[in-house]
């Protein structure tokens, strides 16, 4: 089965500094990787995805992610953090079932706090 891990429960960064939220994956076959963000009392919002191609993927709100096959990682990055980026971030991988169905397997989440 596919899985992702987010080794950090919490990441703190000062406003204006670069941020990184880490994700590692374990898959059989090619990985299909996603990042989502959850603000308080809201649903998950899609940020970006990696399917194939360039290892640096650009997404919404200035976020990008770096895919590294040798390290089985897909870290989320932003050059300059904003206080409004404070939220819960989830890494996810596509998994598939018997009947051609697919679902997302989510990591446990990393809480990002950007301090003013």
Partner 1 sequence: DSGVTQTPKHLITATGQRVTLRCSPRSGDLSVYWYQQSLDQGLQFLIQYYNGEERAKGNILERFSAQQFPDLHSELNLSSLELGDSALYFCASSVGTGKGTEAFFGQGTRLTVV
The binding site for partner 1 (CB under 8 A) comprises 32, 34, 36, 41-46, 49, 51, 90, 94, 96-109
Tell me whether residue 15 or residue 105 sits nearer to partner 1 (CB atom).
105
User: Between 11 and 81, whose beta carbon lies closer to partner 1?
Assistant: 11
Smallest gap from residue 51 Cβ to partner 1 (A): 4
Burial of 5 (0-12, 13-18, 19+ CB in 10 A): middle
CB closer to partner 1, 5 vs 15: 5
The least distance separating partner 1 from the CB of residue 88, rounded to whole angstroms, comes to 10
Rounded least distance, CB 21 to partner 1, Å: 16
By beta-carbon proximity to partner 1, the closer residue of 2 and 114 is: 2
**Three-state SS sequence of the chain:** CCEEECCCCEEEEECCCCEEECCEEECCCCCCEEEEEECCCCCEEEEEEECCCCCEEECHHHCEEEEECCCCEEEEEECCCCHHHCEEEEEEEEEECCCCCEEEEECCCEEEEEEC
Shortest reach from residue 17's CB to partner 1, in Å: 28
């Amino acid at each position: 089965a596919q899985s992702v891990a987010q080794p950090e429960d919490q990441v703190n960064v000062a406003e204006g500094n670069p941020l990184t939220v880490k994700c590692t994956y374990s898959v059989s076959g090619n990985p299909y990787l996603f990042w989502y963000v959850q603000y308080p009392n809201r649903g998950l919002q899609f940020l970006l995805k990696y399917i194939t191609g360039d290892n640096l993927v650009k997404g919404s709100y200035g976020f990008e992610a770096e895919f590294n096959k040798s390290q089985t990682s897909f870290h989320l990055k932003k050059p300059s953090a904003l206080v409004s980026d404070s939220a819960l971030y989830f890494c996810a991988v596509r998994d598939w079932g018997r009947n051609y169905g697919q679902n997302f397997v989510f990591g446990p989440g990393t809480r990002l706090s950007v301090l003013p």
